[in-house]
Amino acid sequence: MAEPDAGTQISSRRTAGLQGTPTLSDYRSSNLTTLRTEATMLHHHDVISRAVSTDREITLEALRVFTYLSRRLHFDRSVPVLQSELADALGMQRPNVNRAIKLLETKQILLRESKLGRAITFRLNPGLEGGRA
């Protein structure tokens, strides 16, 4: 049985190491649109996070509520939120969650969309730039 030469071994190692690496054809226009959308969303999250963390009027409770909700909420669509579930998840009293949400609404960080039964639908404010909407 013939041994492969050193050049073949190096070449096959390079090929094996590149498996899973995206090629140019992987970046079609739909993929680029998705990447742009994700980059925009990350930018908005960064702006909103900076606004919340540098605002001295934001309480620790409001920061906790924002941190939890920012993982669930979106800029482009509303998500229903039950304050009782939020209070349980964060180990907070419901009136404190309510006060934190009101503060985040006053600061225009959260936008209240509607009420569905006991749930209130919120979304993050996509227009928040430089800490103010």
Residue 3 has what pLDDT?
Answer: 55
- Residue 64 tokens read as 């906790």
| Non-local CB neighbours of 80 within 8 Å, separated by 6+ positions | 116, 119, 120, 121
Rounded to an integer, the average pLDDT of 76-100 is 92
Q: Of 54, 56, 86, which is closest to residue 69 (Cα–Cα)?
A: 86
Residue 17 has what pLDDT?
Answer: 47
Considering only residues 30 and 52, tell me which one the structure prediction assigns the higher pLDDT.
Answer: 52
* Residue 97: band (very low, low, confident or very high) from pLDDT cuts 50, 70, 90: very high
Model confidence, pTM: 0.60
Q: Are 68 and 89 in contact (CB under 8 A)?
A: yes
CATH architecture, range 29-124 = Orthogonal Bundle (1.10)
Rounded distance between C-alpha atoms, residue 116 and residue 17, angstroms: 51
Assign 3-class secondary structure to 67-80: HHHHCCCCCCCCEE
Rounded distance between C-alpha atoms, residue 37 and residue 81, angstroms: 24
What is the residue whose two structure tokens read 């928040």? 128
Q: Are 33 and 115 in contact (CB under 8 A)?
A: no
Domain boundaries, given as residue ranges, for the chain: 29-124
